[in-house]
Amino acid sequence: MPDALVNSTIEGAVATVVLNNPPKNVLTLDLITQLEKVIDALSASDAVKAIVLTGTGPLFIAGADIKIIAGIQSAKEGEKLARQGQALFNKIEQMTKVVIAAINGFCLGGGMELAMACHIRIAGDRARLGQPEINLGIIPGFGGTQRLPRLVGQSAATELILTGDMINAEEAKRIGLVNKVVPETEVLKQATGLAKKIAAKSGKSIAACLQAIEEGMHEPLSIGLGREAQLFGEICETEDKKEGVSAFLEKRQPKFQDR
């Protein structure tokens, strides 16, 4: 649709999702609703094993629509908005298809919270990231106070959240916020290349790995190890496991069928 705020295309087993709300790709309620519909559709698609998420134009997402924040008149309204964004970002984080954020330009506020909900983050060398909500007299509401400490540690996250400062891509990589930094013009290409590499693996194995990692992050090590063992056992009964082992022994590339 010409007026779509979220566009998606599928090539092979990789879907590319582009947030299309220029000039700053701010997160409006309509965009959040459309993104959730796209995510639900891709999650249900057996043809898709990896998703690249990016913004149109020279930036990723400049944040949430300030007009929405300005219109909030009660604690109930604010909590409702926060829970709506959190629900979508939780859905992305818990997907059994890998989601890669291709971060170009500014990645701020709700945009950074969305990027942090993705499994992998590739940033352009001119990207700027931050949680500037405190400069507006508010706090992050779409998961920033929870995911940022888990990614970069409590001390670094506390400084970023309380100062509202932006950091460059290299600093983001140094503290573990992004996986790699690439030339600005290469962000989407590099993210897509990584998505294709992962999508060539067994869909069953991808899903099991993501489940083990996500569930284990929120449980004690002993419980995480138990879940890993359970998933390992389930994978051992798949056709892809038989194909992967046979291909290794026969010194050839495996042909996974995601079964």
What are the catalytic residues? 113, 133
- Is 185:191 a contact under the CB 8 Å cutoff? no
Cα–Cα distance for residue pair 177/160, rounded to 1 Å:
12
Residues 6+ apart with CB under 8 A from 87: none
- Vertex 19: Cα angle to 18 and 25 (nearest 5): 145
Question: CA 7 to CA 20: how far, in whole Å?
Answer: 7
Element (H, E) at 239: helix 239-249
- Count of helix runs (H) and strand runs (E) in the chain: 11, 9
Which strands, in side-by-side order, build the sheet including 106-108? Answer: 106-108, 128-130, 166-168
Instruction: Count CA within 13 A, CB hemisphere, residue 12.
Output: 14
Q: Torsion angle of alpha carbons 89, 75, 164, 169, nearest 10°?
A: 10
Asked if residues 120 and 101 have their Cβ atoms less than 8 Å apart, the reply is yes
